[in-house]
Amino acid sequence: MTNTRGRPADPGIEERVLTAALTLYGEVGWAGFTLDAVARRAPVGKAALYRRWPTKESLLLAAFERLSELPAEPLDPKDLRGLLVTVAEQVIGMYVGPKAMVLPRIILEAGQYPPHFDQMVQNIVQARFSLGHEVVEAALERGELPPGTSPDLIVDAIMGGVLRLLVLTPGTRRAAIHAERARHAAAIADAVLRAVGSH
């Protein structure tokens, strides 16, 4: 028997709300971010929004989880280059494209967050790069990297390569970086591996 009480659940509500939350946060930051504004942007009913995310902190944390999507397919733990290309592509995606304003705001506004929220944001960001450390450490054990190579240094070099690319590219041409991010990510990963003498 069909349940006719109330309206059916909206299967696309989560995607719309989280996308709207990221976009809005990138535009207005912590101080200007409100659940009512997200509801208008999504658009969704306020009751449905507040039922699932009762505070702006809970909604923003859920949205920040989407900031750097994990690969749809699991990575081969023995594929060092593939992992570094994926990390580089994720970082490029954070700085150009639809989410471009979000990460800079997170970095700049961290001091304005409540302490507990700031710590949870840091946990989310750090978790996105923990896989990189694990794969680099495994590559060290297999002898693919020189002894003593720092996993932190490898990940930092990838991020530095992305930032160098963005800084040296005029703003009017950055959309092209997003369109060709796979190629740029591969070039950055290869440069880092050559620099550390991978074999």
Residues 100, 180, single domain; the answer is: yes
Same domain, residue pair 85 and 60: no
The CA-based angle 57-110-117, given to 5 degrees, is 30
Same domain flag for 89 and 129 = yes
Q: Establish if 121 belongs to a structural domain.
A: yes
Same domain, yes or no, for 32 and 90? no
Whether residue 95 is found in the same domain as residue 168: yes
Q: What is the rounded distance in angstroms from the CA atom of residue 85 to the CA atom of residue 53?
A: 34
* Model pLDDT for residues 156-185, shown as the tens digit of each residue: 899 899 999 999 999 888 889 989 999 999
Q: Domain for residue 126, yes or no?
A: yes
pLDDT at 28: 94
Q: Is 83:75 a contact under the CB 8 Å cutoff? A: yes
Residues 97 and 191 in one domain: yes
Compute how many other C-beta atoms are within 10 angstroms of the C-beta atom of residue 197. Answer: 9
Q: Which domain holds residue 122?
A: 80-196
pLDDT in tens, 25-80: 999 999 999 999 999 999 999 999 999 999 999 999 999 888 766 666 666 778 89
Give yes or no for a contact between 113 and 187, defined as CB atoms under 8 angstroms apart: no
pTM, two decimal places = 0.74
Looking at the fold, whether 161 and 192 belong to one and the same domain comes out as yes
Q: Examine the domain organization and report whether 88 and 39 are in the same domain.
A: no
Cis peptide, bond prior to residue 151, ω within 30 of zero: no
Count of domains observed in the chain: 2
Domain membership of residue 70 (yes or no) is no
User: Mean pLDDT across the stretch 103-131?
Assistant: 82
Clarify whether residues 87 and 119 are in a common domain. Answer: yes
124/156: higher pLDDT: 156
Token pair 């290309």 is found at 85
Report the pLDDT value the prediction gives residue 128, as an integer from 0 to 100. 67
Domain at 43, CATH number: 1.10.10.60
